[in-house]
Amino acid sequence: FRPNGNTTQHLTDEELTEGDPEAFAREIVQAMDLNGDERISYGEFMAYILGRRKHEVRLHLYDLTGGVAEGISPWLLGQRVEGIWHTGTVVFGKEYHYSRDAVHGDPGQTAFGKPTREIHLGYTLWRKDEFHRFISQELKPIFQRDTYDVVCNNCNHFTDHVCGFLLGK
């Protein structure tokens, strides 16, 4: 079998006889390796054998001030603030964020425009349906229009919960 994204394909007879064994081994390790150390733990191996596939998790950061905060913050706050940040989590081909309601859309094409920064956070073995169930059952009661608070319950808190679920940290 050869890993192929979220599926596994059978190797052809030609691939079995003419393939590069080292390249194939690297491909298998890359498909199973979650933390990028080029080693496969027993847990990673078992997850792969049981049909779990890794999905990249990225953080999108948007400076809501468009760069203005960095210039004026020393005068207003007495210290330099790089930006006032909105965050979204990108996984399963969508960007999930909270802005009065928990929503998702195409990555980098939300109402906040293009992200100021993108950060690779790691990989998750959760499936999309499990993640959506977590959002519906656990996060929707906490993150809704009536509970939004710019300081205490905002997009960054939502992103923290999402990343905690997806990455375990």
Annotation marks residue 86 as catalytic: yes
Q: With contact defined as beta carbons under 8 Å apart, do 163 and 96 qualify?
A: no
Looking at 86, 104, 157, 161, which residue is catalytic?
86
Q: With contact defined as beta carbons under 8 Å apart, do 101 and 145 qualify?
A: yes
In one-letter notation, the amino acid at residue 116 is T
Rounded to whole angstroms, how far apart are CA atoms 108 and 97? 11
What per-residue string of b and e applies to 76-113 under the rule 16 or more CB within 10 Å gives b?
eeeeeeebebbbbbbbbebbbbbbeebebeebbebebe
Token couple for 110: 């939300």
Looking at 155, 157, 161, 163, which residue is catalytic?
155
**Residues carrying an active site annotation:** 86, 155
